[in-house]
Amino acid sequence: MKVQVLFFARLKEIFGESSRWMSLREGASIHELVGLLRHESEELGLDQVPLVYAVNEDFTEGERILRDQDTLALMTPMAGG
């Protein structure tokens, strides 16, 4: 299956792009996807960044199982206002 991953702010700078499509095994969770991103580049320093997730614009937990064509937003804690 394929999911679209969105990056914002600091994460957009870390990954050098604002979105990408990723292929995952059926039944993969957000944690699994984040694991792939961590694996992709050790120097990303993602371990030091607390992540907040939204799937199709709703906040969710890392255990959430992704579905084909989901849009996953990978975010750092909100800092508006």
Partner 1 sequence: MRITQEPIRLDDFFSKGADPSCGATASFVGLVRNHDHGRRVLKLHYECYRSMAEKMLEQIVAKAKERWPVDEVLVRHRIGTLEIGEAAVAIAVNSSHRAEAFQACRFVIEEIKKSVPIWKKELFEDGTGEWVFCPEHAEVSL
Q: Which residues contact 26 (CB under 8 A, 6 or more apart)?
A: 1
Instruction: State which of residues 1, 4, 6, 44 lies at the interface with partner 1 (CB under 8 A).
Output: 6
- Other CB atoms within 10 Å distance of the CB of residue 18: 11
Nearest distance in Å: CB 59, partner 1: 5
Query: What distance in Å separates the CA atoms of residue 1 and residue 19, rounded to the nearest whole number?
Result: 17
Stretch that binds partner 1, among 20-28, 37-45, 72-80 (CB under 8 A): 72-80
Q: Which residues bind partner 1 (CB under 8 A)?
A: 6, 8-10, 12, 50, 52, 54, 57-61, 73, 75-81
